[in-house]
Every structure is written in structure tokens, then in C-alpha cells.
Amino acid sequence: MSSEIATKPYSLSWLGHFFSSSVGRKLIMSLTGLFLCLFLAVHMSGNLQLLKSDGGRAFNEYAYTMTHFAPIKVVSYITYFFILLHAFDGVALALKNRQARPVKYAATPVGSTWASRNMTLLGVIIFFFLVVHLKGFWFEYKFGAMPTVTYDGKEFKDLYSIVKEAFSQWWYVLLYLISLVALAYHLIHGFQSAFQTLGLNHKKYTPIIKAFGWFFSIGVNLGFAIQPLYLFFIQQS
Ligand code: HEM
């Protein structure tokens, strides 16, 4: 194999080898993970339009912009791709680790947290949440027979009524809250772990990165959690 590479000086096969190696996969996971953190912060902030008492107008207009503005559409496709890449590499790394260590540690590794030992499980929960979430809102918006509303003579899909209807069911709200707890744990460990993978391991800065990771994870997930709770308790009454 190595002689094959050696006879092809311009071969890109080293790139393929690198990105399927553990180091390469970890690098991809950290970069895609940080991008997805940014997506989550923007998604959560945009969705706060759900809290306006305007019958859903601001949210419907926001959803329209997000799905009709070309640069945002490109970012959306990058997001879908990065979610799949992040999940695929996560599973590949977990399987590799399991093969390398078929017998579980007898004792909990020193310094490890519950979240750090359960990142794959948390990731799988988030993935299943995403399937339900995208089917319920995103798929309906893009491909479903949506109700419409007219503002100033222009027709909009009434995504707000779909979201409000979904969060009128207690079990749907509960499903979201449980998934958001899983996401919070996943982010708390993932955030600082991404910086470590990128080599940013410093006596002074690592505690700051860890603290910011906590602040970010709790903040984003509280921001998300308010939305179903508000629609269930305030808007339905
Ligand atoms: C209460 C919390 C949430 C609400 C109310 C919500 C609402 C929505 C709605 C209405 C859409 C479809 C509209 C659109 O495509 O712009 C959407 C899309 C999406 N949501 Fe959420 N979401 C929530 C939490 C989450 C979480 C926690 C994640 C990730 C773990 C997530 C990931 C996504 C993704 C990837 C899309 C597709 C975005 C795109 O097409 O660019 N959402 N969400």
C-alpha cells in the first residue's frame, strides 16, 4: 500500500487515509461540532419569535426568509451535511474504540465525567430527536400541505400554527425537554473536547473555555426549552 502511494506523488489517497484515521475523524468531529453549536445558537435565537404575541406573524415571516434567501439555503445544506458527517464519524470512532477495548474498564476512569463516558449514547438520543423534529416541522414546511396566512397581501405558510399545535400535546413537550437535557450534556462535554482536539490546551485558557461551554450549553438549551413550555402553558390557555 505504501509503495502504491510512493509511486503516485500527487495522489490524494493520503487525504482519504487521514480523514478515516482516528485523528482525522476527531478533527472532523470537533470542526463540525463547533459549526453545529453556531447553528444551534442562531436557530434558538430565531425561534424566539415564537414568543411574540402577534398570532405567529414574526415567526412565519422569519421562516419564509430562512427558506427563501439563497445564502441561508446554502448554509442549510452545509448544516445537513455536517450533521450526517458528525454522526457518522461519532459512530465510527465508538466502534473502533470498542474493538480496541472489548472489555469495559473495571473502574470509572479518573477525571472522566458521566457526559464524557456517554457521548455516543447522548448523540444517538439527539439523532432520534432530530428525525422526529425534522419530520414534524421541517418536512411539513417543505413538502406538507400547509395552511397559509396572508400579511399585507402576501401569502405565507403558517408554520406557527403547526408548531403551536404540536406543543399543545404534553408528551410532545416532554419529548423535547428530555432531548434538550441530552443535548445540554452532549454540548457541555463536546464544546471543551473540541478545543482540546484542536490543540488548545492551556493552563489559563482551558478553564475559561470549559466555563464558556457550560454557559453556552445551558443558555442555548434553556432558550429552546422556553419555547414549547410557553406555547403549552401560555398560548393554549
Ligand atoms: C424547542 C425547540 C425547537 C423548535 C421550536 C424548533 C423549530 C424548528 C422549526 C419550526 C423548523 C423548520 C423551519 C425551518 O426549516 O426553518 C426547524 C428546523 C430545524 N431544526 Fe429545530 N427547533 C427546535 C430545536 C432544535 C434542536 C434542539 C435542534 C438540533 C439538535 C434542531 C435542529 C433543526 C434543524 C437541523 C432544522 C433544519 C434547519 C434548516 O433547514 O436549515 N432544532 N426547527
User: Ligand 1 within 6 A of 166 CB?
Assistant: no
Q: Of the residues 138, 157, 158, which should be mutated to test ligand 1's pocket, given the most ligand atoms within 8 Å of the CB?
A: 138
Q: Which atom of ligand 1 is nearest to the CA of 66?
A: 16
The partner residues of 157 in beta bridges, in order of sequence, read 148
pLDDT recorded at residue 3: 46
Spatial neighbors of 67 by CB under 8 A, at least 6 apart, are 73, 76, 141, 142
Q: Could you read off the pLDDT of 117-168 as tens digits, one per residue?
A: 999 999 999 999 999 999 999 999 999 999 999 999 999 999 999 999 999 9
C-alpha cell at 196: 482540546
94-114 burial: b if 16+ Cβ within 10 Å, else e: eeeeeeeeeeeeeeeeeeeee
CATH number of 2-235: 1.20.1300
Domain chopping of the chain, boundaries: 2-235
User: Ligand 1 within 6 A of 130 CB?
Assistant: yes
Q: Could you read off the pLDDT of 157-198 as tens digits, one per residue?
A: 999 999 999 999 999 999 999 999 999 999 999 999 999 999
- Report the candidate in 179, 163, 192, 190 with the shortest Cα–Cα distance to residue 225: 179
For ligand 1, atom 8, the nearest C-alpha belongs to 137
C-alpha cell at 123: 448523540
Q: Could you read off the pLDDT of 83-104 as tens digits, one per residue?
A: 999 999 999 999 998 888 766 6
For ligand 1, atom 41, the nearest C-alpha belongs to 76
For ligand 1, atom 32, the nearest C-alpha belongs to 130
Distance (angstroms) between ligand 1 centre and the Cα of 40 equals: 8
Query: Strand, coil or helix: what is 108?
Result: coil
For ligand 1, atom 14, the nearest C-alpha belongs to 138
d(CA 90, CA 104): 19
pTM of the model: 0.91
Q: Could you read off the pLDDT of 47-70 as tens digits, one per residue?
A: 999 999 999 999 999 999 999 999
